[in-house]
Amino acid sequence: MLTSWGLKVKVYPSHAEEIHPQAIDIEQDIVVNARLKGQEVWARRQDIDINPPYILVAADTLVVQGDRVFGKPRDLQEAHQFIEMLGGRPHQVWTGVFLKASGSGEERTAAVRTDVTLKCLNDMERQALFSAVNPLDKAAGYGYQDSPWIVQAIQGSKTNVFGLPMSTVLHLIHQLSSVAC
């Protein structure tokens, strides 16, 4: 998504151990996870091919419905259960973002919420969904960017449902760019 805005991007997956959020503190917990991911990559910056100036961007996305937090499903059976539970009922997609400027070390964080309602899918439609998208790699087992047909309604940032709230991230990049990378 960042490249579509003309930004040069290098992806370095984080190996950070995430905390397991509770629905009570989801806004804080996802920012903590994004920060953990970003700091783990930041600590390895000498070992990876990256030259200043740059802004590190890390994110963590989770799905919440009531008191239930949906991470990535453990297997296909759980993915089917997740989609069935979410179908026809509103839920929230939360993404925490962490940005850090290479020169100044200045940091920014944010949490973004989008309200989503999925269509109620039958077994055949869930099979079609999982044939098109690896549900084990997505919070709650679905990816809006790969399967928009399963969404009944969205209120808020669509790119947040992709896993990166672009308006917020670009705003934070602009703030950090003016601080001097």
User: What are residue 26's DSSP bridge partners?
Assistant: none
Angle at the Cα of 130 (from 26 to 164), degrees rounded to 5?
40
Active-site residue (options: 29, 47, 60, 75): 60
Residue 49 designated active-site:
no
What is the Cα–Cα distance from 156 to 135, expressed in whole angstroms? 23
Q: Are the C-beta atoms of 48 and 91 separated by less than 8 Å?
A: no
b vs e for 34-51, b when ≥16 Cβ sit within 10 Å of the residue's Cβ?
bbbbbbbbbeebeeeeee
* Catalytic residue numbers, as ranges: 60
